Amino acid sequence: MIMQFLSGRIAIVVFALGALLAGCSTPQPDVGVVDRLSADYVETQHTYRFGAKSSGLSKSERHGINHFLNRNALRKGDVLIVTIPTSGSPKTDAGRVETIHAALAFVPSRVRIGMDQSFATYPTVPRQTGLIRLVRASGIRVDCTPGADDLGCANAINLAVMIDEPGDVLAPAPTARTALQ
């Protein structure tokens, strides 16, 4: 009888101790620190045209590009994403890339240039229109909700404060390794 009483009491103590220790486990964050960061950004676009089978821009197209760049007062953290239309001729395409590089030579922002790759002699649809997209980060937002389940929020806020240029979230500056590629 005493053994039954002690074994029942031990079972209650073990159960209570297990329940108490289960409440002491370290909670894990639901969302990672970097996943809490997002960049608020604005975007504007400008289209331009090359002449048929030409690698040069007309005077009015150059003026339009310059007006777009000056109107938006480009900054260091801005990202320009330029799409150059392919002509089907490697020589013409190389000239178009040089023309765009010359037009954007004094731009303080980061420039990303892309061109469609094609093995055809001439594109099936002659597209002579290119696109310049300006993306500007206006700040970094940290998504946090109060509560015990929202661990890592302080780390995310500290990381957001340490980021000097919000544009780095959109398009990081190339490192020595990526610059060679």
pLDDT recorded at residue 145: 72
* The pTM of the whole model exceeds 0.75: no
Mean pLDDT, range 59-81, rounded to an integer: 92
Helix ranges (DSSP H) in 26-143 = 59-71, 90-103
Give domain limits for the chain: 42-138
Residue 121: pLDDT band (50, 70, 90) is low
CATH architecture of 42-138: 2-Layer Sandwich (3.30)
Distance CA(144)–CA(137), nearest Å, equals 20
Mean pLDDT, range 9-37, rounded to an integer: 65
Closest CA to 134 of 163, 173, 171: 171
Residue with the larger pLDDT of the pair 95 and 27: 95
Q: Is the pLDDT of residue 57 over 60?
A: yes
Residue 37: pLDDT band (50, 70, 90) is confident
Each residue of 75-111: b (16+ CB within 10 Å) or e? Answer: eebbbbbbbbbbbeeeebbebbeebbeebbeeeebbb
Residue 48: pLDDT band (50, 70, 90) is very high
pLDDT recorded at residue 9: 66
pLDDT recorded at residue 129: 87
Residue 29: pLDDT band (50, 70, 90) is low
Q: Is the pLDDT of residue 181 over 70?
A: no
Distance CA(118)–CA(53), nearest Å, equals 15
Q: At what angle do helices 90-103 and 59-71 cross, to 10 degrees?
A: 40
